[in-house]
Amino acid sequence: MLAVLGYHLTSLDAQSVIGLALAPVVRLGWAGVDIFFVLSGYLVASIILREATLGEFDGWRFLRRRMLRLWPPLYVSLGVSWLTMPTRDASFILPFVLHAQNFIPGGPQHLWSLAVEEHFYVAAAVLIPLLARRTDPWACACPVLTAVLIAVPLARLMAVWIGTDVEHIYVQTQFRADSLTFGMFVGVASRYRPNLIIRIGSLRRSLLTTALLSFGLAMVMDNPSFSYTLGLVLVDIGATSLLLFALGARTEQPSRLVRMLGWCGVRSYSIYLWHLAIGRTVGAAALLVVPSCGTAAIIVALIAVLAMGQLSFSLLERPTASRRERDPRSGGRVVPAAAR
């Protein structure tokens, strides 16, 4: 999330003090969403496997929880976008209704990743419980997940070779499945081979070095044909290394920085929805007031984005939290914590 914010907000004035200081982040900001995909793959796999192992997984309940979390803030933000359009053409909402905004152009471009997530939720709700029913889920998962990790990068390379637009490669689901699969691999291993995760997580220096080298190489090789093919693999390896690094962290009192990042993480969805429109609008207005101070404009834009994220979280995400925990087929009874 922070990489994406830096990527978009520093475009207000790339030559400002903040713009220059965050230049390395900006160069890799296009890959910020991959870090989110890896984390999402891990979390979703862990949740579904935990529930399926307990015999409490319900695909409809799982998808309902996702819909209640994603849809209210999404469609409010789209409605605001429609109200501010000069022509008020409602057809741009159609791709979002179909969950195909990464295939059909129109609407806020940065929301393509939500379509990838939605496609993943449906596939995960169907396929991961089948894995949990196997006699040896780990032995079954390893070859399947490994095949995906090999096939998807090869598909991206083939797409570049035949002349496919790299922007299509970057946003379409079939070319992004490996990022989610990296996270799923960690989630499956955490469930069925926890000692393996503990051993790998203990190699903290090696994991951090791997992450830095992977991100560094992806940043240095600043070429679209590389960045959107093998470069994405490097970013995924870096993100997976950071995930394993975090899983191996010692339990201790979180620092102020960790608490601040946690606050942003809880509100990251609302921040992501609004950051482009709010950040650029407020930042552009700030530049009109203080045209010679791009740093101030970026800071003001960041504050506005965080404030809007908090507002959206409080008014749209939090009120649906209790509804997400209730099963409508059981008379609104609260779902047990183990099944959430």
Please tell me the distance from the alpha carbon of residue 227 to that of residue 334, in angstroms, as a whole number.
Answer: 45
The amino acid at 259: R
Dihedral through CA 306, CA 110, CA 207, CA 212, nearest 10?
Answer: -90
User: How is 31-88 classified by DSSP, letter by letter?
Assistant: GHHHHHHHHHHHHHHHHHHHHHHTT---HHHHHHHHHHHHHHHHHHHHHHHHHTSSS-
Please tell me the distance from the alpha carbon of residue 227 to that of residue 170, in angstroms, as a whole number.
Answer: 9
User: 141 near 181, Cβ under 8 Å?
Assistant: no
Please tell me the distance from the alpha carbon of residue 120 to that of residue 143, in angstroms, as a whole number.
Answer: 19
* Cα-based distances in Å from 103 to 72, 96, 115, 258: 22, 10, 9, 36
Residue 338 backbone dihedrals phi, psi, to 5 degrees = -65, -20
Report pLDDT digits (tens) over 173-213. 999 999 999 999 999 999 999 999 999 999 999 999 999 99
Report pLDDT digits (tens) over 233-275. 999 999 999 999 988 875 555 567 567 767 777 888 998 998 8
Report pLDDT digits (tens) over 29-44. 667 788 899 999 999 9
Closest CA to 45 of 185, 153, 174, 226: 185
Please tell me the distance from the alpha carbon of residue 101 to that of residue 184, in angstroms, as a whole number.
Answer: 24
**pLDDT, averaged across the chain:** 84
Report pLDDT digits (tens) over 276-316. 888 878 888 887 877 777 778 788 888 999 999 999 999 99
